[in-house]
Structure 1
Amino acid sequence: MRFFASILILSLSFASYTAGAQEPARPKDPKEQAQPPQARPRASTLDELFERLGKAQTEREAEGISSLIERRFARSGSDTADLLLNRAAEAFGKKDYPLAIELIDRVLVLQPNWAEAWYKRATVFYQLDDPVGAMADLHRALKIEPRHFNAWTGLGHILMASDDKARALDAYRKVLAINPQMSDVKTIVNRLGPEVDGQDL
Structure 2
Amino acid sequence: MPAMRFITTVLPLLAVLVAAPAFGQEPRTDPAEPLAVKENVPGPLATNEQRLDNLFVRLKRERSTEQARVIADEIRKAFTQSGSATVDFLMESAARAMNDKRYGAALDFLDQVTLLAPDYVEGWNRRATLHYLLGNYPKAMSDSARVLAIEPRHIGALAGIAGILQETGHDTQALEAWEAYLSYYPADREAQQQTIELMKKLAGQKT
1:134 matched to 2:146? no
Structure 2: distance between partners of 1:192 and 1:157: 12
Other structure's SS at 1:77 match: coil
Q: Is the 8 A contact 2:144 2:161 kept in 1?
A: yes
Select the residue among 73, 85, 92 that pairs with 2:91: 85
Structure 1: distance between partners of 2:84 and 2:107: 19
Letter in 1 for 2:172: A
Letter in 2 for 1:179: Y
Structure 1: distance between partners of 2:126 and 2:59: 22
Structure 2: distance between partners of 1:115 and 1:78: 13
Letter in 1 for 2:202: V
Larger RCO of the pair (alpha carbons < 8 Å, separation 6+): 2
Structure 1: distance between partners of 2:202 and 2:100: 39
Structure 1 unaligned regions, length at least 5: 1-41
Letter in 2 for 1:89: A
1:56 matched to 2:62? yes
Q: TM-score, normalised by structure 1?
A: 0.76
Structure 2: distance between partners of 1:71 and 1:136: 23
Structure 2: distance between partners of 1:200 and 1:116: 39
Q: Between the two proteins, what is the percent identity of the paired residues? A: 34
Higher helix share: 2
Deviation, 1:200, is: 5.6
Deviation, 1:198, is: 5.4
Structure 2 unaligned regions, length at least 5: 1-46
Structure 2: distance between partners of 1:197 and 1:113: 40
Q: TM-score, normalised by structure 2?
A: 0.73
> Quick check: which has more Rg, 1 or 2?
1
Structure 2: distance between partners of 1:49 and 1:168: 25
1:119 matched to 2:125? yes
1:156 matched to 2:174? no
Letter in 1 for 2:179: R
Other structure's SS at 2:187 match: coil
Tell me what 2:178 maps to.
Answer: 172
Deviations 1:80-127 (A, max 9, x none): 101111110111111111111000111111110111110100111112
Select the residue among 193, 196, 199 that pairs with 2:202: 196
Structure 2: distance between partners of 1:88 and 1:197: 43
Structure 2: distance between partners of 1:178 and 1:86: 28
Q: Alignment RMSD, CA only?
A: 1.6
Structure 2: distance between partners of 1:61 and 1:51: 13
Tell me what 2:193 maps to.
Answer: 187
Q: Is the 8 A contact 2:63 2:186 kept in 1?
A: no
Tell me what 2:42 maps to.
Answer: none
